[in-house]
Amino acid sequence: MGIHRPLLSMYAALIAQVVNLVMNYALIFGKFGFPAMGIAGSAWGTVIGITVGGGIRMATFLGGGFRTEYASMSMLKPDLRKMTDLLKIGLPAGIELAFSAGVWGAILFWLVGRFGKETQAATSAALACINLSTMPIEGLKTAITVAVGKSIGADKNHTAIKQTRLCLRVALIYMGFVGLGFLLFGRIFMRMWSSDDMVIQIGVEVLVFAAIYQLFYASRTVYSGALRGAGDTVWLAIFALGAAAILALGGFVIIKVFPNFGSLGPWAAATMSIIAAGLANRIRFKSGKWKQIDLFSHRPVELEMNED
């Protein structure tokens, strides 16, 4: 991604998914001479698919033109100082990802689960629609992370700001149409996942909340990518924790104070947490504090001299 070769990652991911599909079929049902392992076979099929995808990426990085152009083989010697610098940026970024996706979803399901299987099914179906709709924005997030990182590396902060504005406009337009689609065609989307009238009705109501926060989700995601490219990952991790807390505490309070809201109470809290994250990331980026972060504090002196 960082050297603008996203097609290679896409091909590796597609091949990994094909392997995952074939191995799941073989190991779950005992096909092609493999033992029938049931759900365990599904797990092993996924492991094999991920391993193949990772192996393709590693082989590509270490071989051919990459080895010549980027000296990838000669860079295999561990450098603890550089590894520490990467971990200072990467660990908070991982925490942000875990809390903004996994933990956030787990809290939501924990809160919704208090209202029965139908609400859980509706939440699962609605999240499936939402996750599919947000994939292009996640792609934009990756693109803006790379672009901002390169611009800052070239000492062009003004370019990083322009790139972020452009991505934000694209994201807002796209997510605006997504939100409108949820409002107008929510019932059609839900019928793709369930035939139960109660599940469909709850899901339609959930998609109304999803429609409300789409623009803020775009803001949260694009600015998150830009801040990550600037190395401002500690802020992202801290506020990801805060957004999860807003969901957990807000959802619990709404359930207790407004029990008539039912399963929509947690979704109201989820909407508030995304709105807060979208506004907070925008304020953080606009503050310009990311410009004070120096990702190159340990660059060799001769490189700095050459640049001068």
Q: Is residue 31 part of a domain?
A: yes
For the ranges 28-42, 50-64, 98-112, the lowest mean pLDDT is seen at: 98-112
Left (φ > 0), alpha (ψ -120 to 50) or beta: where does 78 sit?
beta
Q: Is residue 239 part of a domain?
A: yes
Domain that holds residue 61: 6-70
Residue whose pair of structure tokens reads 């623009």 in the numeric block: 215
Q: Which long-range contacts (CB under 8 A, 24 or more apart) does 18-23 make?
A: 19/48, 19/49, 19/52, 19/53, 20/45, 20/46, 20/48, 20/49, 20/50, 21/45, 21/49, 23/48, 23/49
Q: Is residue 187 part of a domain?
A: yes
Q: Is residue 302 part of a domain?
A: no
Are residues 23 and 117 located together in one domain of the fold?
no
Using pLDDT thresholds of 50, 70 and 90, give the confidence band for residue 259: confident
Are residues 272 and 219 located together in one domain of the fold?
yes
pLDDT tens digit sequence for 15-29 = 999 999 999 999 999
Residue whose pair of structure tokens reads 């939100």 in the numeric block: 179
- Quote the mean pLDDT of the chain: 90
Are residues 57 and 84 located together in one domain of the fold?
no
Whole-angstrom Cα distance, residue 286 to residue 299? 28
* Number of domain units in the chain: 2
Q: Is residue 212 part of a domain?
A: yes
pLDDT tens digit sequence for 223-253 = 999 999 999 999 999 999 999 999 999 999 9
Are residues 139 and 277 located together in one domain of the fold?
yes
Residue type, 93: A
Are residues 66 and 84 located together in one domain of the fold?
no
pLDDT tens digit sequence for 41-62 = 999 999 999 999 999 999 998 8
Are residues 107 and 233 located together in one domain of the fold?
yes
Are residues 55 and 186 located together in one domain of the fold?
no
Are residues 46 and 84 located together in one domain of the fold?
no
Are residues 53 and 199 located together in one domain of the fold?
no
Are residues 154 and 260 located together in one domain of the fold?
yes
pLDDT value for 301: 41
Q: Is the pLDDT of residue 302 over 60?
A: no
Whole-angstrom Cα distance, residue 192 to residue 177? 20
Give the max Cα distance, the chain: 69
pLDDT tens digit sequence for 111-157 = 988 888 889 999 999 999 998 889 999 999 999 999 999 999 889 99
pLDDT value for 86: 85
Q: Is residue 147 part of a domain?
A: yes
Are residues 56 and 88 located together in one domain of the fold?
no
Q: Is the entire prediction scored with pTM above 0.85?
A: no
Q: What would the mean pLDDT of 192-218 be, rounded to a whole number?
A: 93
Are residues 13 and 128 located together in one domain of the fold?
no
Q: Is residue 299 part of a domain?
A: no
pLDDT value for 165: 96
Q: Is the pLDDT of residue 87 over 60?
A: yes
